[in-house]
Structure 1
């Protein structure tokens, strides 16, 4: 309880800027959690890309197709649709994968931009709190030079706001860096998998045709 009360006291000492920094920190937490859940659904992981490439390299086209069909994630979905529905022509398959990957990456980058804004904005808000605290301090020097508590209050406001702004910026920077790197990994995996799929387009199309025929026979029986 004492630590909570002390935290509230520090928060109040930081001045009005602390409320804006608190809102910014809430946004960082929200974006981090929301993006984590999204990537858990949309990212198949690097293991999928490596397994798909290995199947292609060893001419196991049916296994590669089955892997793309059964795996959850943006890359797997695009690959499976491109192979089964758009592999009749190389240019059509390439265009389909390019368009769909652009849409998928756009969704992955959603709200990541706001983290970079907070990284820049939070220290500036802290600096604003610093200036406000120093103005208060110098005002006290001029008006109430005999009250040291009032002077230290202004200095405290300046230091607390600065520290809070830096903390929010650091957390936002770490979250932004994590998801940016994850997106870069996905882009790399996309390029490798799409290139492999295009180079083995006809073989994958044959595997898809055989799989479709087997499924039709099974349904007929």
Structure 2
């Protein structure tokens, strides 16, 4: 990215006025959380154990505590490792251990998703705020100079349009990524629930 392109971007953002500052901060915060969750779910899916592997672990030696590979970091692996380490001879207690572990893991699978959705929803509101402030500026110019000074009116109109466009540019991919991450979170919770059902049946 050369200096001319950076200058053009800064000039464009400058047309939006003071409202562009919280809008830019909102965008950075939203994408930081999106990238964090994308890497998180990718890591869980890549390093988790399959259901058939979980069944083999339980069938091979149910009393062992070290059958889950150490490199496995997914929800199924964590659940199996926790249950095998804390299991008792009481079947009801073991089922409660499974439920307790699942309940403790669910908040981690849903972390930051609500914040991402809020940032995506707030962005167009900042754009709307910029629209309002831009139109107020335009009307102030009309009050002072009338409608004959098009150059003076252009600043307020530019502020209104730039902030509206920027708010939509932030919000549209934000809503898309939010829906995608909610779907991946739901899939991870389904995998965890499947593992919990298998563990309850075999403990």
TM-score when scaled to structure 2? 0.84
| TM-score, length basis structure 1 | 0.78
Say which is worse superposed, 23-32 or 78-87, in terms of deviation. 78-87
* Aligned residue in 1 for 2:97: 96
Q: Aligned residue for 1:18? A: 20
1:51 alignment partner in structure 2:
52
Mapped to 2, the partners of 1:61 and 1:40 lie a distance apart of 29
Task: Find the partner of 1:30 among 18, 29, 32.
Answer: 32
RMSD over aligned Cα atoms:
2.6
Range with greater deviation from structure 2 (44-53 or 108-117): 44-53
Query: Quick check: which has more Rg, 1 or 2?
Result: 1
> Structure 1 stretches (4+) deviating beyond 3 angstroms?
36-41, 44-47, 49-53, 63-70
Aligned length: 197
Aligned-residue offset at 1:46: 9.5
Which runs of no fewer than 5 residues in structure 2 stay unpaired? none
Instruction: Tell me, yes or no, if the aligned pair for 1:126 and 1:164 is still in contact at 8 Å.
Output: yes
Which residue does the alignment assign to 1:168? 170
Q: Match of 1:206?
A: none
Structure 1 residue 67, shift from structure 2 partner: 6.7
Structure 1 unmatched ranges of 5 or more: 202-221
1:104-144 CA distance string (max 9 Å, x none)? 22123222221111122111111010011111112222222
1:194 corresponds in structure 2 to 196
Q: Do structure 1's residue 150 and structure 2's residue 152 form an aligned pair?
A: yes
Q: Which deviates the most, 140-149 or 125-134?
A: 140-149
* CA–CA separation in structure 2 for the residues paired with 1:35 and 1:97: 25
